[in-house]
Amino acid sequence: MRTPILLAAIGQHQRPYRYAVTNITLRVNVRPTSRDTRPVNLDLGTIDLPVTAYASITHRVTGVLMFFASFLMLWALDLSLASEASFNRLGDLASSPLAKGVTWAIASILTYHALAGIKHLIMDAGIGETMRGGVLGARIVFVLAAISAGVWGLLIW
C-alpha cells in the first residue's frame, strides 16, 4: 500500500519531496527487517540545532561537571580543616597555575549553570516562553556567562 507523498510545511506553502516515500521504500532503505519506519541512526553533526538547544545541553553538561567538581571541592575543604600544616599545603597547591585554571573552570561552570537556572525560573514564571523569548534568553545567558568567566579570570589571576 502506498502512502501519500510527504510534504514539508514551510509557512503557508507546501512543497513535495523529490521522491515519493512508501512503506516499501522506507522498509528497504531504513530497516529491512522491521515494520518500524523510523530512522535507525541520526547523524547529530548534520542537525542544525537552535541556540536554545545548545543552552539546554550546556546547562545539563555543567550540572554533571558541577557534580564531579563537588568531590574536588569537598576534598579541598577536608584538607583545609584537617590541620594548620595541611591548610598551608593547600594554600601552596592553590597558588599553582593548574589549580588556578581548575578553580577558574569550576567558578565559570557554576556561574553558567546558575545563570541558566535563573533563566529557567524566569521562564517558569511565564516570561519568555515563546521561541523568540527563549532565543533571547539563551543569548543573554551566553553573553553574561562569557563576561563572568572573564571577571573570574581577572579575580583568580
pLDDT of amino acid 2: 45
Whether residues 77 and 147 share a domain: the answer is yes
Question: Domain total for the chain?
Answer: 2
Residue with cell 516499501: 24
**pLDDT tens per residue, range 12-33:** 445 544 556 565 555 555 555 6
> In the predicted model, what is the mean pLDDT of residues 75-79?
97
**Which pLDDT value is given to residue 46?**
79
Say whether both 125 and 59 belong to one domain.
Answer: yes
pTM for the model stands at 0.72
Q: Are residues 66 and 15 in the same domain?
A: no
Cell readout for 48 is: 542544525
Average pLDDT of every residue of the chain: 85
In a domain, 46, yes or no: no
Q: State how far Cα 132 lies from the chain centre.
A: 19
pLDDT band at 10 (very low <50, low <70, confident <90, very high): very low
pLDDT digits (tens, 9 = 90+) for 52-74: 999 999 999 999 999 999 999 99
Q: Are residues 105 and 146 in the same domain?
A: yes
Domain of 102, CATH number, reads 1.20.1300.10
State which amino acid sits at residue 23: N
Condensed to tens digits (0 to 9), the pLDDT of residues 80-130 reads: 999 999 999 999 999 999 999 999 999 999 999 999 999 999 999 999 999
Is residue 7 predicted with pLDDT exceeding 50?
Answer: no
Alpha-carbon torsion (41, 44, 47, 49), positive or negative: positive
Give me the DSSP letters along 105-129: HHHHHHHHHHHHHHHHHHHHTTSS-
For residue 80, give the nearest of 98, 92, 69, 68 by alpha carbon. Answer: 92
Nearest alpha carbon to residue 56 among 109, 146, 134, 149: 134
